[in-house]
Chain A
């Protein structure tokens, strides 16, 4: 079995605050991929933009695709439900087929000419963390050598309805995003960072024990995910034994898979060799963590 760390070769991101109508994405898809992708909805468009930016000019053909989302393709699912139960119209064939979440993986693999495994898996509060853990599992077993791991969440206007649907307050600022990492084991190009660990923890004690066992440097930055109340972040960081916080969510509109933004935001400004520990929690006080190290300067 191959053990971590894995190399982070590139990140690809899209984020937009949504106040009214979300921006048109067709042109951005074309700009990113160089082709016009027809008959796909917003969720798939965002997946293509994020994954395409992450892929850059090319990816190994055997790159796997791991897609996740906090809410999935709300747009196509709501459209099918409204057409059915309000307008008495059965689903159109392509709309129905696109309700499967892995439809986005299909378009990514097709556009980036990938021939490997792909899949959509999620967790209500640990969406991005869930995808990372599954990708790590495949790397550890030696099944894959290269993977795109990403998360997508869309806003379906009108904003007031979207907020209500997500259980948000009336003045919550909304955002939609697509965050991707290209992970791999190849050493033929300099990585921008390394993924050191991605783990689930049954409770807080298990989290503390697990992180302590890694003996991370005291300078490690700690970021808390969106499902840890802000007032709990400082006590948790102290309990973990670290002083410095890393903030990546400030000013960000609400979407469910914000953890996906942590890696790229950290690597954009990180000191060479520095570490980020990201921790998130769910309402049952289970925890999920991942650790990233920024690349060291070339010798």
Chain B
């Protein structure tokens, strides 16, 4: 069976510019900032993890600048020829896409015209991909996924399938989420935000911190590494229990996890580690733990990445995968010291320190608004 190997990646998050920089920053991660969300004549301070070394300004240009830099780095890392670059397929996952650009334009236009039209900058979720296609002269297909917090995980699953099928030799998967007022005030209104570091599954959980992040991953049919990483299986299920939370009994989460295991032809005992979704809200934490316990007789080591990155929403699929894989590539599982250290009310413990992670199969879980649940199984082959 043809595989689609991870052959080039890059990332820019609040933790770092590039994956090596991000891994170094795990020792002393930055704390969330308080960012001003300005709407009409009002300001609201919102906790956010803003991109390292790139303040949330010049919103009409910033999105494209960040994307271009991250994509170039990923393409360079993959060492594709110019012909291969032109032919690749583009799979983008994002919750807010280019809404940060539309907001900035709308505010600027409202300053001079009270009848300015919202979304005059962009009125299609496909426009971001169209802009990238034009910038890089991509000729392959492009698909823009808008499935809340699973968007870029779903983008990867379809990119992988397209390369496996032989329709494409290479695909570029992109996850991006930058600060925007709609998201900031939307989550503020839902009363889900905390000014502190996220503490998923911990008794002291207090909500989530929004995060900015942009990651790009090039996948291809030929491995370029002695111990290549690839997507071994995946599943996606629509949970119709509630539009904003998974079923609390864990049944629907167990369903998607079991589906990913079947897709990967693995049993639960063959999973060496799980990257949890971990949004640090009681409802979601309870459902996620209940779901995992339905499938795993003994839970493998559990790793949470939102305490470092914040919740990067539609981009978390790729931002968290890129960070997880960068660590796995160096043989370790990321720990979260002091968070869910053993006295969780839900009866689980998160991995506390950087621990050895041998080659094997790892599960990465994502659960989103609109009942969109996705589970990925990544394989790192041994020598």
Contact with B along A207-220 (1 / 0, CB 8 A): 00000000000000
Q: Output the residue of A80, A99, A164 with the most chain B CB within 10 A.
A: A99
Distance in Å from the Cβ of A4 to the closest Cβ of chain B?
Answer: 12
Binds B, one of A15-23, A112-120, A266-274: A112-120
Tell me the complex Cα distance, A51–B162, Å.
26
Task: Decide if B190 touches A93 in the complex (CB within 8 Å).
Answer: yes
Q: How far is the CA of A123 from the CA of B158 in the complex (A)?
A: 14
Q: List B residues 86-139 near A (Cβ within 8 Å).
A: 86-87, 89, 95, 99, 102-103, 106-107, 110, 117-120, 123-127, 129-130, 133-134, 139
Inter-subunit contact B237/A120 (CB<8 Å): no
Measured CB to CB, the nearest residue on chain B to A96 is B186
In the assembled complex, A88 has its CB within 8 A of some CB on chain B: yes
Contacts of B142 in A (CB 8 A): 123
Do residues A122 and B139 form an inter-chain contact, with CB atoms below 8 A? no
Distance of B111 from chain A, by nearest CB (Å): 10
Q: Are the CB atoms of B146 and A165 closer together than 8 Å?
A: no
Identify the stretch in A29-37, A129-137, A234-242, A244-252 within 8 Å (CB) of chain B at 4 or more residues. A129-137
Pick from A78, A90, A103, A202: contact of B118, CB below 8 A. Answer: A78
B124 touches A70 (CB 8 A): yes
Residue of B nearest to A92 (CB): B189
Q: Which chain A residue has the least Cβ–Cβ distance from B191?
A: A93
Least Cβ–Cβ distance between A70 and chain B, in angstroms: 6
For A65, A106, A256, which residue has the most chain B Cβ atoms within 10 angstroms?
A: A106
Alpha-carbon distance between A91 and B181 when the two chains are bound, in angstroms: 10
The stretch from B26-34, B238-246, B298-306 touching chain A is B238-246
Q: Shortest CB–CB separation between residue A38 and chain B, in angstroms?
A: 12
B106, A109: Cβ atoms closer than 8 Å? no
Check if A137 sits within 8 Å of B185, measured CB to CB: no
| Residue of A with least CB distance to B372 | A102
Interface positions of A from 56 to 111, Cβ below 8 Å from B: 65, 69-72, 74, 77-78, 80-82, 84-88, 90-93, 96-97, 99-103, 105-106, 109-110
Given A101-B147, A123-B142, A140-B165, residue A85 in contact with residue B238 (CB < 8 A): no
Q: Which residue of A lies closest to B234 (CB)?
A: A143
Contacting pair A118 B372 (CB below 8 A): yes
Q: Which residue of chain A is the closest to B126 with respect to CB atoms?
A: A124
**CA A249 to CA B127, docked complex, whole Å:** 24
User: Distance in Å from the Cβ of B138 to the closest Cβ of chain A?
Assistant: 9
Rounded to whole angstroms, the CA-CA distance of A138 and B259 in the bound complex is 14
B residues 141-159 in Cβ contact with A at 8 Å = 141-148, 154, 158
Most A-side CB within 10 Å, residue of B110, B123, B134, B263: B123
Q: Could you tell me if A85 and B39 are in contact, using CB atoms closer than 8 angstroms?
A: yes
Chain A residue at minimal CB-CB distance from B92: A121
A255 to chain B, nearest CB (A): 12
> How many B residues have CB within 8 A of the partner chain?
66
Taking a contact as CB atoms closer than 8 A, the residue among B99, B123, B165, B182 that contacts A71 in the complex is B123
Nearest Cβ in chain A — how far from B52, in angstroms?
27
A153–B240 Cα gap in the complex (Å)? 24
A80: chain B residues within 8 A (beta carbon) = 182, 186
On whether the beta carbons of B123 and A165 are closer than 8 Å, the reply is yes
Q: Within residues 27 to 60 of chain B, which ones have a CB less than 8 A from any CB in chain A? A: 39-42, 44
A100 close to B161 (CB less than 8 A): no
Given contacts A85-B118, A119-B372, A284-B134, are A100 and B146 in contact (CB under 8 A)?
yes
Complex A-B: 22 CB contacts under 8 Å: A71-B123, A71-B124, A84-B185, A86-B40, A90-B186, A90-B188, A91-B189, A93-B186, A100-B368, A102-B371, A105-B370, A106-B243, A106-B370, A119-B372, A120-B147, A121-B145, A123-B141, A125-B126, A143-B263, A164-B117, A203-B139, A286-B139
The 8 closest A-B pairs by CB, nearest first: A124-B126, A88-B40, A96-B186, A200-B141, A118-B238, A202-B139, A81-B118, A102-B370
Query: B-side interface residues toward A, CB under 8 Å?
Result: 39-42, 44, 86-87, 89, 95, 99, 102-103, 106-107, 110, 117-120, 123-127, 129-130, 133-134, 139-148, 154, 158, 161-162, 164-165, 181-182, 185-190, 235-238, 240, 243-244, 255, 263, 368-372
> 14 more A-B contacts (CB under 8 A) besides A105-B370, A115-B238, A126-B141?
A71-B123, A82-B118, A88-B41, A102-B147, A106-B371, A116-B237, A119-B145, A121-B145, A122-B146, A161-B117, A165-B119, A282-B130, A286-B139, A288-B141
